[in-house]
């Protein structure tokens, strides 16, 4: 295994991180938006979201990705591998995040919400100032867990030709006839990514605890 | 005469939950400076009545006026939007049985939140007033503490101060001491007595008969969703008009 090979896997890591990051960044607020539609019980939208979420949670990411990649061009929507990958990740993660957000919303203490109403906070203010800061904290572990899972399923993006960490390792293994080193390098690259996420979560939680102990 | 206008005028309020008629044609007025204590057995509709006044619960019939302004229905005759309701609610303070403080904000922030965010008043001025309110309820030293670190009695005193920070026209209390350990009830009642003495306009749902007897200007006795009896505490507790009130007093005054 040459330095160039390690570099190739590193490039795969950049792809993995970038795609996961975009998927999370877009999927997180969409998940929250979907959860809010259900929480507020918006007439038709709430039903649609419920169906969307259960269908997506039941659909394997690979299947969804293949569907998007091969079926969308059929209905006249041109889509490249990277766009298909991002779209699939966003759809998948938004459905899972929706459930995490929704659980936090459902468990939000009613009296606290009514206290906000009683002092004259309107709906947006109640949400932004009272509900959101608290559900973020409650949801954080679940959301980070979802993000770690998301990063670990990115190898399936290879089916449409995206070269991520794992795909890069497979290629090098095939070229050098020595699969072990590239795979060890690959595993060594996933670890710090997930570790960074978990550290971020710990950091936020600790800062919060420190503030409350004051 | 503007001085004759009641602060709160509840006229013919009814409310049902499905088949259950919880409030039936409730009417009463509260004049400036009055402390009205609402008494009644569990399930008689006391909480629902308070919640209807600030439209946390939407009444099925009747009208509610705050200083002459209709609550819940706007000038066009339609149900108020969330924004309109919010504006009206700034004038009605509410104190909750389980305090309902916001745990992610400090005591001082709990008090300042609505005056700053809703009334858009300058933070420095609001802070000064909030500190004065905390002094009034005996919690000056707790301003930077989070609610989780307070005792129940302290939490409820913060709850009262938070409601006062909005300078409401009327204060509604829903069993403010029911969730407290017995030894902590006194400190909260002390604050409420002080407010009564100052002439704040208040409607208080309570099971504290001693408090109702000597702090209320008037008793409103509810049973099965109806106002069964109303009158000054001297008369209500000593010589009630109705048999049901008599039974209620016997049961509660004993325990
Ligand atoms: N949201 C609701 N949906 C259905 N029924 C309700 C609802 N809120 C209250 N009720 C019912 O209405 C009746 C009156 O309730 P309410 O809480 O107003 O009584 P209360 O006088 O405050 O009783 P307590 O002294 O126990 O607090 C009860 O039978 C209660 O079960
Ligand atoms: Mg009640």
Q: pLDDT tens digits for A184-203?
A: 988 888 888 888 888 888 88
What's phi and psi for B31, nearest 5 deg? Answer: -95, 165
ipTM: 0.94
* DSSP assignment of B68-106: TEESSB-TTSSBPPHHHHHHHHTTEEEE-TT----TTS-
Ligand 1, atom 28, residue with closest C-alpha: B43
How much is the pLDDT for B2? 55
Q: Is B113 exposed, middle or buried (0-12, 13-18, 19+ CB in 10 A)?
A: buried
pLDDT tens-digit map of A71-85: 999 888 888 898 999
Q: Chain B: residue nearest A137 by CA?
A: B104
Specify whether the CB–CB gap between B128 and B145 falls below 8 A.
no
B119 contacts on A by Cβ (under 8 Å)? 120
Question: How many angstroms is it from B53 CA to the middle of ligand 2?
Answer: 14
> Higher pLDDT residue, B165 or A153?
B165
Ligand 1 residue neighbourhood (C-beta within 6 Å): B 17, 20, 22, 40, 42-48
B163 contacts on A by Cβ (under 8 Å)? 118-119
Which of B96, B111, B114 lies closest to B177 in space, CA to CA?
B96
Which domains are assigned to chain A? 3-213 (1.10.3720.10)
pLDDT tens-digit map of B137-181: 999 999 999 999 999 999 999 999 999 999 999 999 999 999 999
Q: What is the mean pLDDT of residues A146-153?
A: 84
Which of B245, B255, B185, B254 lies closest to B39 in space, CA to CA?
B245
pLDDT tens-digit map of A82-131: 899 999 999 999 999 999 999 999 999 999 999 999 999 999 999 999 99
How much is the pLDDT for B1? 47
**Element spanning A81, H or E:** helix A81-106
Share of residues in chain B with pLDDT > 70 (%): 98
Ligand 1, atom 31, residue with closest C-alpha: B43
Question: Global pTM?
Answer: 0.89
**Element spanning B197, H or E:** helix B182-198
Beta strands in chain B (DSSP E): 8-17, 20-30, 35-39, 61-66, 69-70, 92-95, 170-174, 202-205, 218-223, 226-231
Please tell me which of the candidates A129, A137, A211 has its beta carbon nearest to residue B117. Answer: A129
């Amino acid at each position: 295994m040459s330095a160039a090979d390690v570099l190739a896997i590193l490039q795969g890591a950049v792809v993995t991180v970038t795609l996961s990051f975009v998927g999370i960044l877009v999927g997180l607020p969409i998940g929250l938006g979907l959860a809010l539609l259900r929480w507020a019980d918006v007439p038709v939208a709430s039903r649609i979201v419920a169906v969307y979420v259960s269908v997506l949670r039941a659909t394997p990411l690979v299947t969804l990705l293949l569907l998007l990649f091969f079926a969308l061009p059929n209905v006249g929507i041109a889509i490249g591998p990277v766009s298909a990958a991002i779209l699939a990740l966003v759809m998948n993660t938004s459905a899972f995040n929706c459930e995490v957000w929704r659980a936090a919303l459902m468990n939000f203490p009613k009296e606290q919400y009514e206290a906000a109403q009683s002092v004259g906070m309107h709906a947006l203010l109640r949400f932004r100032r009272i509900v959101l800061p608290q559900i973020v904290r409650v949801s954080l572990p679940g959301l980070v867990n979802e993000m770690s899972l998301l990063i670990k399923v990115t190898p399936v993006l290879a089916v449409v030709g995206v070269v991520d960490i794992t795909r890069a390792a497979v290629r090098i293994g095939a070229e050098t006839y020595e699969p072990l080193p590239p795979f060890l390098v690959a595993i060594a690259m996933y670890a710090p990514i997930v570790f960074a996420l978990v550290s971020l979560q710990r950091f936020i939680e600790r800062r919060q605890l420190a503030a409350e102990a004051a | 005469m503007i001085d004759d206008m009641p602060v709160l005028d509840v006229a013919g309020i009814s409310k049902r939950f499905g088949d259950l008629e919880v409030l039936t044609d409730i009417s009463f007025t509260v004049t400036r400076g009055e402390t009205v204590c609402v008494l009644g057995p569990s399930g008689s509709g006391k909480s629902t009545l308070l919640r209807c006044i600030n439209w946390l619960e939407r009444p099925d019939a009747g009208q509610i006026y705050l200083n002459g302004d209709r609550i819940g229905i706007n000038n066009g005759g339609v149900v108020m939007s969330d924004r309109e309701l919010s504006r009206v609610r700034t004038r009605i303070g509410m104190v909750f049985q389980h305090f309902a403080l916001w745990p992610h904000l400090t005591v001082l922030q709990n008090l300042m939140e609505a005056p700053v965010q809703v009334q858009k008043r300058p933070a420095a001025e609001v802070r000064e007033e909030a500190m004065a309110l905390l002094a009034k309820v005996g919690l000056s030293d707790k301003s930077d503490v989070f609610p989780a670190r307070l005792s129940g009695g302290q939490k409820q005193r913060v709850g009262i101060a938070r409601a006062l920070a909005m300078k409401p026209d009327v204060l509604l209390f829903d069993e403010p001491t029911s969730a407290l350990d017995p030894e902590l009830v006194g400190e909260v009642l002390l604050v409420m007595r002080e407010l009564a003495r100052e002439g704040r306009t208040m409607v208080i749902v309570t099971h504290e008969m001693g408090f109702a007897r000597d702090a209320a200007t008037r008793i409103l006795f509810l049973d099965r969703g109806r106002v069964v009896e109303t009158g000054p505490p001297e008369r209500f507790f000593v010589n009630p008009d109705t048999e049901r009130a008599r039974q209620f007093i016997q049961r509660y005054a004993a325990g």
